[in-house]
Amino acid sequence: MSNYGRLRALDDILKERDRQDAQWGGPTGDDGNTEADWMSYIHKQHQQWAYGQNFRERAVKIAALALAAIESMDRKEKKDANA
């Protein structure tokens, strides 16, 4: 894959993360989610992806949700380590 393709994909994922943060309250909202919540959100997007609805858009949403989950887990881990 060319760097352009990767940069475009990553840019779209980060833009989707910004959109999600604006919609759901950013870290404050994200950190209230459990691992089961994240799996449910990703599963919902995966179901829509599996039906061929906006394939690339769904892939970006899934990647952004996965990134949100990782960011949240990392914040919680850091908070627990500092407690």
Residues 36-72 pLDDT 10s: 999 999 999 998 888 877 899 999 999 999 999 999 9
pLDDT of residue 42: 95
- pTM of the model as a whole: 0.88
Range of the domain at 32: 3-82
Sorted by sequence, the CB contacts under 8 Å of residue 66 that are 6+ apart come out as 42
**Per-residue confidence at 80, pLDDT binned at 50, 70, 90?**
confident
- DSSP annotation of 51: T
Name the domain count of the chain: 1
**Residues 14/7, Cβ–Cβ less than 8 Å:** no
CB count within 10 Å of CB 83 equals: 5
